[in-house]
């Protein structure tokens, strides 16, 4: 599978006070929700390959979540002209000049052709949010099929430092998300294997020994859809060689015990 790397890291969560500790939530403007970076074209080519070859591993959508998927597609379409996209009816010309035909019958797949972010749909059932839909091409050591239709407490069960108290706090945060006010957090992991498609937790055991030369960071956002009340969890993935980080970012890794 093709390796896609960034050569610089504009967002380093370990360098910001707000995002360096769990849960590390900070508000951002709606115009900052979707991001485009230097790996845009390569990541979207990889998404296309994964959807074609690994469809059952990267795409799930409950019938109850279809309206939310359509709503988030429409929200993205309303915002991306400010990022260099041109929309003409059902056709969208991306910043890299690729023309995409939007299919409202496949809203998450259409989004995968437009933006680097993986999109996950959370819907509240009873007292908890469940994962009811996703196009997750770049999982960082977790499996969509194992987590589909499960609540957040079970989704995060194996994650280090994610205990019951933190899970409850995150559920409260998700329940408080407002339309047009995205919340953002970030994480950082060290990997020996730079592939973006890591669908299993044991897919890169060497990362636990901190020997990997690649830094993987996710810019994660939460945004509520006003009509369906679904909360959209988006993940923008960065993978970069440690040697390509700035000297300040490397020093930050050391000071935060990540090196």
Torsion of CA 103, 94, 116, 51, to 10 degrees: 40
Contacts 24+ apart (CB under 8 A), 231-234: 231/121, 231/122, 231/123, 231/124, 231/129, 231/174, 231/177, 232/68, 232/72, 232/119, 232/120, 232/121, 232/122, 233/119, 233/120, 233/121, 233/122, 234/33, 234/34, 234/117, 234/118, 234/119, 234/120
Please state the pTM of the whole predicted model: 0.92
Task: Tell me the per-residue pLDDT of 179-230, one tens digit each, with 9 for 90 and over.
Answer: 989 999 999 988 999 999 999 866 666 555 557 899 999 999 999 999 999 9
Using the predicted structure, report yes or no on whether residue 251 has a pLDDT greater than 90: yes
Counting every residue written for the chain, the total comes to 259
Task: Tell me the per-residue pLDDT of 156-168, one tens digit each, with 9 for 90 and over.
Answer: 544 555 556 666 7
Question: For residue 17, what pLDDT is reported?
Answer: 75
How far is the C-alpha of 230 from the C-alpha of 121, rounded, in Å? 7
Task: Tell me the per-residue pLDDT of 26-51, one tens digit each, with 9 for 90 and over.
Answer: 999 999 999 999 999 999 999 999 99
The secondary structure of residue 139, as a DSSP letter, is -
Question: For residue 208, what pLDDT is reported?
Answer: 54
Question: What SS3 state is found at 45?
Answer: helix
Mean pLDDT value of segment 59-77: 98
Mean pLDDT value of segment 232-237: 98
Residue closest to 55 by CA, chosen among 185, 197, 178, 164: 197
- Asked if the bond preceding 24 is cis, omega within 30° of 0, the reply is no
Look-up: residue for tokens 């909360």? 231
Question: For residue 161, what pLDDT is reported?
Answer: 53
Confidence of residue 250 (pLDDT cuts 50, 70, 90): very high
Task: Tell me the per-residue pLDDT of 89-130, one tens digit each, with 9 for 90 and over.
Answer: 999 999 999 999 999 999 999 999 999 999 999 999 988 999
Strands 118-125 and 231-241: antiparallel
């Amino acid at each position: 599978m093709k390796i896609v790397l960034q050569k610089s890291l504009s967002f380093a969560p370990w360098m910001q006070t707000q995002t360096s500790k769990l849960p590390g939530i900070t508000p951002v403007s709606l115009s900052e929700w979707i991001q485009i970076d230097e790996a845009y074209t390569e990541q979207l080519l990889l998404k296309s390959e994964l959807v074609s070859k690994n469809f059952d591993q990267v795409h799930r959508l409950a019938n109850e979540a279809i309206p939310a998927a359509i709503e988030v597609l429409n929200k993205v379409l309303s915002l991306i002209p400010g990022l260099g996209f041109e929309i003409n009816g059902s056709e969208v010309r991306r910043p890299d000049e690729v023309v995409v035909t939007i299919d409202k019958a496949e809203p998450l797949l259409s989004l995968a052709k437009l933006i680097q972010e993986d999109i996950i749909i959370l819907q509240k059932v009873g007292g908890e949010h469940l994962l009811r839909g996703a196009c997750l091409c770049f999982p960082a050591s977790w499996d969509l099929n194992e987590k589909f239709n499960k609540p957040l407490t079970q989704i995060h069960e194996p994650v280090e430092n994610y205990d019951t108290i933190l899970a409850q706090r995150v559920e409260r945060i998700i329940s408080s998300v407002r339309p047009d006010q995205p919340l953002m957090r970030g994480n950082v992991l060290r990997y020996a294997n730079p592939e973006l498609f890591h669908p299993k937790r044991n897919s890169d055991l060497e990362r636990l020994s901190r020997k990997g030369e690649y830094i993987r960071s996710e810019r994660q956002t939460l945004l509520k859809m006003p009509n369906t009340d679904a909360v959209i969890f988006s993940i923008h993935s960065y993978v970069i060689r440690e040697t390509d980080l700035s000297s300040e970012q490397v020093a930050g890794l050391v000071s935060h015990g990540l090196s």
